[in-house]
A = this chain, B = another copy of it.
C-alpha cells in the first residue's frame, strides 16, 4: 500500500457530480494509506479524444497512404508518439493500480474515454471502474486486451435517481472497498492463450 502508485483517469465536467465525489474519495482514502496518487483529469487537461496523424511526432512511414494502426505502432517503437500520449503512457507504466472514473451511459461510453483508450498503449496491473455499469465489452475486451489484470467493477447505479442517503452509501461502499483493494484478486477475463 505504502509506496504504491495509483493513477486515476477521471472524465467528468462537474466536480460536484457523483463521479467527482467518487474520485475525491479515492484520492483521499488511497493517499491516507500511503499511496502516491496521480489524477489525469481529462476534461481539465482538455485531452484530445480524436485519433489523428498528429499523434505521430516524427515522419510517417507511408504519408501517401495513412494507416493509423501501422503508423502509431512504428511511432511507439521509435518513441515518436506525440507528447500528450507519451505522458499518459508514462503514468500508466508507473502505476500499480489504475482507476477509470467516468460515467458509463446506457448502451454508450463517453467519447472522451473511448478516445483515450484508443490512443494509449497501456501496461499495468489492475483496473476498476466505479460509478458505471458493468459491461463485459469494456472489462473483458479492451482493458484486458491492453494487458491489464482486471478487478471487479464498482457499480453505482443511476445516482441521480436515488436518495441522498443512498448516494452517501455508495460513497461509503467505495471508500470501504478501497481500504482492502490491494488484497483483491483479478477477475477471470479472456484466457491468455487467446492472444498467442
Contacts and interface: CB of A to CB of B under 8 A. Distances in A.
Interface stretch (A22-30, A104-112, A171-179): A104-112
Interface in A25-73: 43, 49-53, 64-68
Copies of this chain present in the complex amount to: 2
A16 to B, nearest CB: 5
A139 to B, nearest CB: 11
A184 interface: no
Interface residues of A, number: 32
A14 interface: yes
A118 interface: yes
A137 B145 CA distance: 19
Given A43-B52, A111-B119, 19 more contacts: A13-B53, A14-B67, A16-B64, A16-B65, A17-B67, A49-B111, A49-B112, A49-B115, A50-B111, A50-B112, A50-B115, A51-B110, A51-B112, A67-B160, A105-B118, A108-B141, A110-B118, A111-B115, A137-B137
